[in-house]
Amino acid sequence: MKYRPIAFYLPQFHPFAENDDWWGKGFTEWSNVVKAKPLFKGHHQPHLPTELGFYDLRLPQAREEQAALAKAYGIYGFCYYHYWFNGKRLMHEPLDYMLQSGKPDFPFMYCWANENWTRRWDGDEDKVLIKQDYSEADDQEHIRYLCKHVFSDPRYIRVDGKPFFAVYRPGLFPDIQHSLRTWRREAMAAGIGELYIGYVQAFNLKVAPDTLGFDAAIDFQPDFHNTPEVLRSNGIGRALNRLKMKPAVWEENTVIEYASYAALAMSRPNVGYKQFPGVSPGWDNTARRKTGAFILKDSTPEWYEKWLTRELEKFRPYSSDENFIFINAWNEWAEGNHLEPCTKWGRGYLEATKKAVDHASR
C-alpha cells in the first residue's frame, strides 16, 4: 500500500460514571452536539449524523459499521485516543470490548491524550476534573499495561514490526526523553521489542522528533494555535456585512474561511525532518464552547479533497512502512470535524477521501 491514511477517533460516545458525576446522568459527546446553534447566517450547526445515528460505542454493531465504512472509503486504520491518568482510564469500555472480542478486524493504534481534564465545556478551564501526574513509576505501569493488553494485538499498526504509539502533548512531561527511554526499556523487557513512537504537533512544540527521542512527528490539523493573522483579520468588514455576523461573534471567536486555510496549508513546504502529514475535513467547536471557539467556515468535500490530494502529492513516504497520513478526525462531532456521514453532506467527505487516495496511489 503506497499510503496508509489514519483517522483520529474519539471514544467518548457512551455514558460512563465520571461524566455522570461531572456533567449529569447520561451525558455523552452527543449531549454537546445536539445543543449547538448557528451563530450567523450560513453557519452550519448543529452537525448531526445520518446513517450511523446517535450511536453508543459500547455496542459492537456500531463499531463494526464504523470500521466497514472506513475501510470502504480508503481509511487504513483508526488512531484511538487513549485516556490514562496514573493508572485510571477513562472512555475505555469501547476499546476494551474491541480488544477482547477481536472485532472489528480493522487496524488501529493508540494516541495518549495526556492532558488534564477540565471544565472547558462550560468555560471554566481552571477547574481540573482529573489531573495528569508524571513519574517513572507511572511510566512503567502505563507501558506495562499497553504491552500486555494493547501492543500484542495482531491488528495493532506497526512500522517494521514495531508498535506505533503516539503522544498528544509531549511538552507537558517534566522529562519526555527519560519517559521514552523507560517505555522502550520496558517494552523490550516485556517481549514486545522495539517501539515506534511519534508525537502529535498539536501545539507550539514543533521540532525534529529525534531531538526529543521520538521516531516521527505527526502534523495535526487544523493548526489553530499557529494560524496566520492575515487569515484571522482579512476582510473582517466584508464578512460582517455579507454574513450579517454580529460583531461579538467575530470578537469572541476565531472565524476563518476553510478554503483560505486549506489553500495556505497546501502551499506549505515540507519540513526538514520526519513528519507524517495531516489534514482535516473541518473544525467548528462551538458545540463545546460558548466563546473562544475556532470555526473553519464553509468547509466542503471538494476543498477537503483538494487539500488531501495536495498533501499526498507532496509526501514521499520515508519507507514502505512509514507511509502514514493523519486525518483529524473520524468522529469529532462536537468539533465539527468528522468523516462520518452527516445530514448536510452525507458520505461526501468519505467519497472525497477515497478519490484523493485512489488518485495519489496510481
**pLDDT of the chain along its 362 residues, tens only?**
799 999 999 999 999 999 999 999 999 999 999 999 999 888 999 999 999 999 999 999 999 999 999 999 999 999 999 999 999 999 999 999 999 999 999 999 999 999 998 876 655 567 899 999 999 999 999 999 999 999 999 999 999 999 999 999 999 999 999 999 999 999 999 999 999 999 999 888 999 999 999 999 999 999 988 887 767 654 454 455 455 677 778 778 888 999 999 999 999 999 999 999 999 999 999 999 888 899 999 999 999 999 999 999 999 999 999 999 999 999 999 999 999 999 999 999 999 999 999 999 88
pLDDT at residue 247, as a whole number: 73
CA separation for the pair 232, 28 (Å, rounded): 32
Asked if 297 contacts 255 with a C-beta cutoff of 8 angstroms, the reply is yes
Q: How many angstroms separate the Cα of 240 from the Cα of each of 38, 41, 247, 251, 291?
A: 15, 10, 7, 11, 18
Cell numbers placing 266: 497546501
- Per the CB < 8 A criterion, the answer to whether 194 and 143 are in contact is no
How far is residue 304's CA from residue 76's CA, in Å, rounded to a whole number? 18
Q: How much is the pLDDT for 122? A: 55
Q: What is the pTM of this model?
A: 0.95
CATH superfamily, region 4-39+48-225+266-289+299-360:
Glycosidases (3.20.20.80)
- pLDDT score of 243: 55
Residue 125: the pLDDT is 63
What is the dihedral angle through the alpha carbons of 326, 330, 331, 332, rounded to the nearest 10 degrees?
20
User: For residue 248, which amino acid is it?
Assistant: A
pLDDT of residue 283: 97
Interhelix angle 93-101/60-72, nearest 10 degrees: 80
Radius of gyration of the chain measured on its C-alpha atoms: 20
Give the distance, in angstroms, between the CA of residue 37 and the centroid of all CA atoms in the same chain.
23
